[in-house]
Structure 1
Amino acid sequence: MSNYAESVKDLDSYLSARVPVIAVHSQEQVRALRLVRQAASSPRRANLPFWIYTRATGLRDLRTNAPAQEDRSLTGAMDFAAQQFANRAQATVVFVDPENLSDDNTAARHFAELARLADSNSGSIVIVTDTPLWTGLGRLGMGVTLDLPDTDEMYEVIIEFLRDHHGVVPIAWTESDARRAAEFMVGVPEGTAINVLATMVAKGSVEKDDVAHLAEFKDKHFGALAGLERVRVNPDGPQVGGLSSLRSWLRRKQRLISSDLRGTALRPPRGVMLVGVPGCGKSLSAKAIAAEWRLPLYRLDLAAILGQFVGQSETRLREALDTADRLAPCVLWIDEIEKGLAGQNDSTGVGRRMVGQFLFWLQESRQRVFVVATSNDVRSLPPELLRKGRFDELFFVDLPDEQDRAEIIGMYHRRYVGTEPTPELVDKLVGLSDGFAGSDLESALHEVGEEVHLNGGAEALRTDFVLDTFTNTFPLSRTNPEQIEDIRSWGRERAVPAGRAFGAGHTGGTAPGQGRRVVVFGE
């Protein structure tokens, strides 16, 4: 059952029970008033009086919209309501967004007295508001919270709007396009969604590509938020080399995140934790996933979330995660997660509270937000973050083996030099690059590309220059072998290999028992 249907049911029950104060909490006043009118239109209430007060129109009959009195002030409306509650039974007065009811003040106490008068003669006050009520007023009645439209409600809004404009402008959307658009629009008010659809119609047609553009609209709607930023990704840019196991796993998760899971107990995929050797493409993997899945990518900057005041960091994190839910479906990238959620040696307790808050969201959120978290220093992370069931899987990204290095060299040679390398050159470079990470290979070939640019083309490129460039490149696995071996020792014992299992083609510079693949991206 949708939240709107549940809210109608709750409001109907409270009106039938003649609850003296009924608070309808909603960010969407128009939608909340539709809810109230629907409940008031029940045939069994045909003979019961309903009035509604707004600051713009004053007091009117809810059903006929006829003015009830000339005085348009809130005080005049409350005096009218007091007269009705005193002289007749089962009267209902709806007040739309009255001011100053959030704390203990004269207005709130006046409403509380009015509620007690209504209670004495089975009357009801309905308060439509987007702010909390003073507890002294709220405890006299019940509350209904009307959330923003969920996917099913938004789908109905879209279908109804397109139906009204069918034949007016060309509409290329299929049912699946409308369903995908509804998923993109979840988290925005119904009125805003209608405005966006009207803008599409106003340009003369509704095209299939308009669905993907809805993500850009959500960026503008939610604006900038500390700690959460949009990362622009070229859909045809990032390319992955290697990581066969991870890529196969992601293809399965892509099918799930785009599937209709209604009527099942399944929840959308939570995400993946990537750990491994620095420079092997863990961070850039988020871009590849977003590009391949055609989803917007957002980066959660934990450093920007940390505040100097008590509770500020936790509040900012909660706001960022709530916004991510509203931006769904999307990919949420948390780079070097250990820098913000380590928490083990934090004497203030902020880190531990942020870990708990993040894990609660990761466990309970049902929105299509796929988290890609990366870590270089996984030992500093709290154990509860790595427990099975937090993320969908924990993958280890290792140094590339010979086969992967050959693939990466070819990719970057084509990118920076502009030509296909000869098999003989590739074989020599593979031998010289044992222990190289993907970033080391890119750096070396970027320098080769600079030489090509400065000397007028690939024809003038000398093979010995390329070989010397690789010979003079010193990867982290050579300058800091202890650190790299420590990372690899942890990964091969506690994480799923992101590439194929140990065996084929893994040589020098690697510890026995390892055989991972590395991710490489070209844009």
Structure 2
Amino acid sequence: MPDLARTHEVLRRYLNARVPLIVVRSIEPGRVLDSISALAGELRTMAFFEHSRTEGLVEMTSRQSVAEDFSLPGALEHARSTFKARTNANFVFPDVEDIEDESSTSRHMAEMVRLAETRQGSIVLVAAKPVWSGLRRLGMSVTLDLPTVDEMFDTLNGMIDDHRGVVATSWQHDDVRRAAETLVGITEGEAINILATLLTKGSLVPDDVAELSQFKESIFGELAGLERVRLRDGYVIGGLRNLRSWLARKEYAMKADLSDSHLRPPKGVLLVGVPGCGKSLSAKAIAAQWHLPLYRLDMAGILGMYVGQSESRLREALDTADRVAPCVLWIDEIEKALATGGGDAGTSRRLIGQFLFWLQESTSKVFVVATANDVSSLPPELLRKGRFDEMFFVDLPDAQDREEILRLYFSTYLGAEIAPALCGDLVDSTEGFAASDIDAVIHDVAWAMRESGRQAIPGDDELREFFSNVVPYSVTNAEDLAAIRNWGRTRAVPAGTPSSDGIPLASGDRRRVVVL
């Protein structure tokens, strides 16, 4: 990806080669003009002039006005006279209107380029949009991308150094690096505005880094195909010990500075298994515990009715995810969005290919949490090792997990500890319950207390009755459960405590063959 240093060097070579037209594509004209201004100071044998609506035509090194007419036609007329009178003159025009297509302006500019070529001159166009091909082919082009992490780090570090002694800061190198990674995807000016807003508090502490994501999100407004999920405190995963242990290692990798290595940030995890056992909750808990924003990829909003529309929307959504990184990207029930079928004119296959290409090639810190219930409809391409960092099978909670879940929801909804004897009885009676079943029952108990105005928790017998009235998913959908288990137990790492039937433990070094 071109950065400022490389763009600066390319511009130097184009100018030295006396290329008659240089098109610089960028949404940051200020950074481009700073680079050209620096080159004007270095290339003393050339003259550099810059046009703007507010200052008219000025000489770049002295900033002296050279024409009374501030309009673009006036600046072009002065350029024509200059080219006629001397060689090695350069004119810089940022944000010229009506040059995207063939127009009187673009044709006029093309004539000026031809004149410049006869006099060893150059015209530099700084444009955020494409330039008419008939004009662009008269010269060369270069693109200045948004600041890289290193460039953003230098910008933030310089600004913080300028405020030391005025603003109390405890940010260290790693904090500034995390801030730079958070703000990648926006312009340098936007990053400066965000940090300046943060500095007005009078201090900078490491916890302030998390606030940068909120400022960054406000810049993008409505994100195409992405829905920001508002997080609250208290997201806790009950059970799923194997998954939680694995995620703890990935948190370090997501926050580590990888600039001095060839290591890639984590790609994400695919959670398959029994409905109601914590797959969707895991996405929210990961984002909350890692202090990262959570975005949900809305595939219903991605799918369009016209050929190519769905692919375009998905590309835009994934590009936006890269820009708002670091973040957690949640794709709920991914099999419904990417299921292959013969009645969609190949749209599903193209979406799968586009998503997998992004998953393979993206280097942004976007941690994907994809969940699936109907594992039989998952496309085989999605399951190949290397797509996701790991694939976990989320089964019904075992006795140890059910005890943890019971204690968790008693504390959450009833504000009390469950008695050991009652806990043991409920662990036995909830065999076959999903985590959502246990959640729903204890939630109903809390509502019953509120409706009746009772402060005391119901007695043990009454609590047992609440649970006895529930028919769990394992009973109502026994056939589906058996199919899900038969698929997942041989193809994925168990998310919970492995049973004694030979299901392997998750390991960073373990590799599995997916049987399809």
TM-score class normalised by the smaller sequence: over 0.9
Distance 1:14 1:270, change over 3 A: same
Q: CA deviation at 1:84?
A: 2.4
Q: CA deviation at 1:454?
A: 4.2
Return the match for 2:84 from 83, 86, 90: 86
Q: Secondary structure at the match of 1:59?
A: strand
Q: Secondary structure at the match of 2:169?
A: coil
Return the match for 2:66 from 62, 65, 68: 68
- The equivalent residue for 1:120 is 118
- The equivalent residue for 1:509 is none
Q: CA deviation at 1:19?
A: 1.0
Could you tell me how far apart the structure 1 residues matched to 2:249 and 2:204 are? 31
RMSD: 2.0
Q: Secondary structure at the match of 2:471?
A: coil
Residue type at the aligned position of 1:310 = V
Q: Deviations over 1:296-324 (max 9, x none)?
A: 11111111222233322222222211111
- The equivalent residue for 1:280 is 277
Identity of aligned residues (%): 53
Q: CA deviation at 1:346?
A: 4.0
Residue pairs, 1:152-191, within 5 angstroms: 152-191=150-189
Distance 1:203 1:427, change over 3 A: closer
Distance 1:201 1:127, change over 3 A: same
- The equivalent residue for 2:51 is 53
**Is the 8 Å Cα contact of residues 333 and 371 (structure 2) preserved in structure 1?**
yes
Q: CA deviation at 1:32?
A: 1.3
Distance 1:242 1:160, change over 3 A: same
Return the match for 2:241 from 233, 241, 244: 244
**Is the 8 Å Cα contact of residues 341 and 354 (structure 1) preserved in structure 2?**
yes
Point out the more displaced range, 419-428 or 432-441: 419-428
- The equivalent residue for 2:396 is 399
Q: Deviations over 1:411-443 (max 9, x none)?
A: 212222332222221222122111111001111
- The equivalent residue for 1:145 is 143
**Is the 8 Å Cα contact of residues 398 and 516 (structure 1) preserved in structure 2?**
no
Q: CA deviation at 1:71?
A: 2.0
1:26 aligns with 2:26: yes
- The equivalent residue for 2:412 is 415
Could you tell me how far apart the structure 2 residues matched to 1:262 and 1:471 are? 56
**Is the 8 Å Cα contact of residues 417 and 452 (structure 1) preserved in structure 2?**
no
Residue pairs, 1:287-302, within 5 angstroms: 287-302=284-299
Distance 1:203 1:414, change over 3 A: closer
- The equivalent residue for 1:508 is none
Point out the more displaced range, 433-442 or 49-58: 49-58
**Is the 8 Å Cα contact of residues 418 and 458 (structure 1) preserved in structure 2?**
no
**Is the 8 Å Cα contact of residues 502 and 515 (structure 1) preserved in structure 2?**
no
Return the match for 1:380 from 373, 377, 381: 377
Residue type at the aligned position of 1:265 = H
Could you tell me how far apart the structure 2 residues matched to 1:251 and 1:11 are? 46
1:16 aligns with 2:16: yes
> What's the TM-score, normalizing by structure 1?
0.92
- The equivalent residue for 1:430 is 427
Q: Deviations over 1:275-305 (max 9, x none)?
A: 0000001011011111221111111111122
How many residue pairs align between the two structures? 506
**Is the 8 Å Cα contact of residues 328 and 367 (structure 1) preserved in structure 2?**
yes
Q: Deviations over 1:165-206 (max 9, x none)?
A: 222232232222221111111111111111122222334333
Residue pairs, 1:249-268, within 5 angstroms: 249-268=246-265
Q: Secondary structure at the match of 1:493?
A: coil
Distance 1:344 1:385, change over 3 A: farther
**Is the 8 Å Cα contact of residues 3 and 146 (structure 1) preserved in structure 2?**
yes
1:41 aligns with 2:41: yes
Q: Secondary structure at the match of 2:214?
A: helix
Return the match for 2:356 from 352, 355, 359: 359
Could you tell me how far apart the structure 1 residues matched to 2:182 and 2:255 are? 12
Residue type at the aligned position of 2:59 = D
Q: CA deviation at 1:83?
A: 2.6
Could you tell me how far apart the structure 2 residues matched to 1:63 and 1:158 are? 27
Could you tell me how far apart the structure 2 residues matched to 1:271 and 1:180 are? 19
Could you tell me how far apart the structure 2 residues matched to 1:359 and 1:18 are? 43
Residue pairs, 1:199-214, within 5 angstroms: 199-214=197-212
1:499 aligns with 2:496: yes
Could you tell me how far apart the structure 2 residues matched to 1:250 and 1:423 are? 30
Distance 1:277 1:404, change over 3 A: same
Q: Deviations over 1:462-512 (max 9, x none)?
A: 222222222221111101111111011110111111123222xxxxxxxx6
Q: CA deviation at 1:456?
A: 4.9
Could you tell me how far apart the structure 2 residues matched to 1:292 and 1:201 are? 25
Residue type at the aligned position of 2:279 = K
Residue type at the aligned position of 1:167 = G
**Is the 8 Å Cα contact of residues 342 and 351 (structure 1) preserved in structure 2?**
yes
Could you tell me how far apart the structure 2 residues matched to 1:275 and 1:153 are? 40
**Is the 8 Å Cα contact of residues 344 and 380 (structure 1) preserved in structure 2?**
no
Could you tell me how far apart the structure 1 residues matched to 2:451 and 2:97 are? 70
Residue type at the aligned position of 1:14 = Y
Q: Secondary structure at the match of 1:489?
A: helix
Could you tell me how far apart the structure 2 residues matched to 1:492 and 1:161 are? 53
Distance 1:459 1:55, change over 3 A: closer
Residue pairs, 1:333-372, within 5 angstroms: 333-372=330-369
- The equivalent residue for 2:510 is none
Could you tell me how far apart the structure 1 residues matched to 2:476 and 2:7 are? 63
**Is the 8 Å Cα contact of residues 177 and 257 (structure 2) preserved in structure 1?**
no
> What's the TM-score, normalizing by structure 2?
0.94
Could you tell me how far apart the structure 2 residues matched to 1:499 and 1:204 are? 46
Q: CA deviation at 1:458?
A: 6.2
